[in-house]
Structure 1
Amino acid sequence: MTNAPTLFDWMGGREKLNELMSVFYRKVAADDLLQPLFQRMKEEHPEHVGMWLEEVLGGAKRYTEQRGGFKAMIRQHRGRKIAPEQRARWVALFFESVDEVGLPTDPEFRSALVAYIEWGSRRAMANSQPDAPPSKRETIKLWGWGEAPPGTD
């Protein structure tokens, strides 16, 4: 796509993403399956995840500039032992929230967003295990309209 908007712009930008994070993390905090992972969630966690998604989806590089980038995000997941059912529930609540806040429903956008959330949540789960090898990636993987994920991280 030439001159195509970023996924971040297409979804409605920072205001819409912040709304999504607010709705989503209220659900996460109240969910029995996710509560053990998020019981000590800091008030600013939804904002930090929003900064991450903004950068990944083509917006400003605020996560890298203000939070330390990819390696800092990896450190947040190390040792958390995310279980497959917790990852799946996180994804389900995310897309419930996507619908609730009215993100675009066109198949191109939804396909790209589903692809990233599935890929990213699986990477987070893998990186959260005690025996996870160090990541080879140094920078945040930017996601766009239909790119395939890299073969290795």
Structure 2
Amino acid sequence: MAGKHCTYPWTCWPPASQQRLFKFLLLGTAGLIFAVFVGATLFTGALTQEIAAEKEQYSLVVPLVREITTLRAAQGDLVRLTPEEAVRRILDDRSLNDYAASLRPTRVAEDQEGVEVTLNGLTLIMLTDFLQDARERASLQAPEFVLTRNPEEPRLADVHLVLAR
């Protein structure tokens, strides 16, 4: 007598055992889906709480950072000079006079004086150092800023900006 050939292991089982196996598989799959759903819900809830806590901490830090930058700007050695004089001093200190194409006083608002500056052929480091000095030493901000690539040397930058307090 030849043994009965079973395609799948459970096909040789009695029908009650097969039914019990498929019920357990169905319940196991449903339980697994439920566990994944609950886990995902708890994970996103924890992330939402963490994001809210980070936002709250950020909102506490922002005013402090603004106050620090304001105090740092007020301590600059060029704060008492006009914007034009301050920019001329920064250009002298940084040896950027050769790069200055134009520098002229302007009015940003009715009661706010500023200076319009065009610098050509700067490296990015030279530009950032100039802007950092303008902010920290002279308390100047750039309400207008246009940065373009230098046509003669594409690795260098041309910048046209207005600086004001």
TM-score, structure 1 as length reference = 0.33
| Higher strand proportion (structure 1 or 2) | 2
Rg: which structure is higher? Answer: 2
> TM-score with structure 2 length normalisation?
0.32
Q: Relative to total residues, which structure has the larger helix share, 1 or 2? A: 1
With CA pairs under 8 Å and 6+ residues apart, which has the higher RCO, 1 or 2? 1
